[in-house]
């Protein structure tokens, strides 16, 4: 089968509810499945018993956070993705387009893991008589994320509208702080974003075809590539997660594949709600709202509302001030 067929097979409500392999849609092996947060990361940061809250409110230990996977995918291209990304975290810097693509694949894998896990839980509680409960647009977005993941199986050329690669990626060098755990993970599955800090490197990824980077090449306050501390990284993640939920457009893709290569091309951007009122311009992001941002800041930085929001000026406070003086 062609890679694009495997991925289309994996991205269907039928495959997800039948607990087929999340990466190829084939029969899953009987083992534990694929860990959404990879084992090397769990080992290094002692995460096995730490718990993460899922959308339905359940707290799940990292060691149980797995998705169905087959042996071929697990021991094959997925394990290659894991080994390729470890040196980047050991080094703590993102230097080349290759580094970005390797991180993009790895973060796609983690994001797809979360999306499939959450969708599987929704389908468990679904009422068959009411028809599909996973919107078609969601599966379409999932398939865009798969293009990035599947590019690890076969040499792939990307032609994108906004940059080199079909996603947004920001990265930060994290200055060690006393008593800092060194690990942080947050996702927003509605915005299709995931942020991970592991040791000295923090990365934030959005599967949005590169729209957020088109709006701001270096992300919030243009700080991608800078040195920040752990708390500042959480704030940056919250801002990117929030912006990701404002996205009101997607891409139309053309794909091509033969025995040797895969080609993935963005043809145009499609706005969900059409033109911005009173203008000729497509709406790509809904309007930014500081109060909405404050909810994201509270959720992701674990600070009190009063610490993140100024009722007087109706704006959010920022931990990033000291870094911005030079700007
Ligand atoms: Zn598979």
Q: Using one digit for the tens of pLDDT, what is the confidence trace for 76-95? A: 999 999 999 999 999 999 99
Tokens of 88: 């980047």
Going by pLDDT thresholds of 50, 70 and 90, the confidence category of residue 40 is very high
* Ligand 1 centroid – CA 39 distance (Å): 18
* Ligand 1 centroid – CA 143 distance (Å): 15
Helix (H, G, I), strand (E, B) or coil at 275: strand
Q: What average pLDDT score do residues 112-134 get?
A: 72
* Ligand 1 centroid – CA 77 distance (Å): 10
Tokens of 299: 């959720």
* Ligand 1 centroid – CA 15 distance (Å): 11
Answer yes or no: is pLDDT of 130 > 60: no
- Tell me the C-alpha distance between 90 and 34, whole Å: 23
Tokens of 264: 């993935």
pLDDT tens for 99-111 read 999 999 999 999 9
Output the pLDDT for position 326: 52
* Ligand 1 centroid – CA 6 distance (Å): 8
* Ligand 1 centroid – CA 190 distance (Å): 25
* Better pLDDT: 129 or 157: 157
Output the pLDDT for position 312: 94
* Ligand 1 centroid – CA 215 distance (Å): 35
- Tell me the C-alpha distance between 296 and 290, whole Å: 10
- Tell me the C-alpha distance between 123 and 113, whole Å: 15
* Ligand 1 centroid – CA 28 distance (Å): 7
* Ligand 1 centroid – CA 327 distance (Å): 47
Output the pLDDT for position 178: 60
Q: Which residues contact 168 (CB under 8 A, 6 or more apart)?
A: 205, 206, 208, 210, 211, 212, 213, 219, 240
Point out the least confidently predicted range of 47-56, 284-293, 307-316. Answer: 47-56
* Ligand 1 centroid – CA 3 distance (Å): 11
Task: Report the percent of the chain where pLDDT is more than 90.
Answer: 76
pLDDT tens for 215-245 read 999 999 999 999 999 999 999 999 999 999 9
Virtual torsion, Cα 305, 118, 99, 222, nearest 10 deg: -20
Going by pLDDT thresholds of 50, 70 and 90, the confidence category of residue 120 is confident
Going by pLDDT thresholds of 50, 70 and 90, the confidence category of residue 134 is confident
35, 23 contact by CB (below 8 A):
no
Q: What average pLDDT score do residues 272-286 get?
A: 90
Answer yes or no: is pLDDT of 325 > 80: no
* Ligand 1 centroid – CA 29 distance (Å): 9
- Tell me the C-alpha distance between 145 and 166, whole Å: 9
* Ligand 1 centroid – CA 34 distance (Å): 10
Answer yes or no: is pLDDT of 131 > 60: no
* Ligand 1 centroid – CA 121 distance (Å): 20
Answer yes or no: is pLDDT of 153 > 90: yes
* Ligand 1 centroid – CA 20 distance (Å): 8
Going by pLDDT thresholds of 50, 70 and 90, the confidence category of residue 98 is very high
Q: What is the average pLDDT value for the chain, to the nearest integer?
A: 91
* Ligand 1 centroid – CA 262 distance (Å): 18
* Ligand 1 centroid – CA 12 distance (Å): 14
Phi, psi (deg, nearest 5) at residue 287: -70, 140
* Ligand 1 centroid – CA 284 distance (Å): 34
């Amino acid at each position: 089968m062609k890679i694009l067929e495997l991925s289309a097979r994996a991205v269907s409500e039928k495959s997800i509810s039948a607990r087929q392999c999340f990466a190829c849609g084939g029969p899953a092996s009987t083992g534990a499945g694929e860990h959404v947060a990879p084992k090397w990361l769990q080992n290094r940061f002692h995460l096995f018993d730490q718990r993460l809250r899922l959308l339905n409110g359940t707290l799940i230990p990292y060691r149980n956070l797995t998705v169905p996977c087959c042996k071929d995918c697990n021991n094959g291209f997925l394990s290659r993705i894991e080994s390729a990304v470890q040196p980047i975290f050991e080094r703590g810097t993102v230097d080349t387009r290759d580094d970005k693509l390797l991180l993009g694949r790895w973060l796609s894998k983690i994001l797809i893991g979360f999306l499939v896990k959450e969708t599987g839980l929704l389908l468990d509680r679904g009422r068959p008589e009411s028809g599909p409960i996973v919107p078609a647009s969601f599966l379409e977005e999932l398939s865009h994320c798969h293009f990035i993941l599947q590019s690890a199986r076969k040499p792939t050329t990307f032609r994108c509208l906004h940059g080199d690669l079909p996603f947004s990626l920001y990265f930060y060098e994290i200055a060690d702080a006393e008593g800092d755990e060194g690990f942080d993970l947050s996702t927003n599955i509605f915005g299709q974003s995931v942020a991970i800090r592991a040791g000295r490197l923090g990365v934030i990824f959005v599967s949005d075809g590169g729209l957020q980077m088109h709006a701001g090449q270096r992300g919030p306050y243009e700080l991608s590539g800078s040195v920040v501390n752990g708390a500042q990284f959480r704030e940056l993640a919250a801002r990117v997660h929030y912006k990701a939920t404002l996205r009101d457009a997607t891409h139309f893709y053309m794909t091509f594949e033969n025995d040797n290569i895969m080609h993935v091309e963005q043809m145009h951007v499609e706005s969900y709600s059409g033109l911005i009122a009173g203008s000729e311009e497509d709406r790509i992001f809904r309007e930014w709202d500081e109060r909405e941002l404050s909810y994201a800041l509270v959720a992701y930085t674990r600070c009190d509302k009063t610490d993140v929001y100024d009722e007087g000026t109706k704006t959010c406070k920022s931990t990033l001030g000291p870094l911005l003086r030079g700007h």
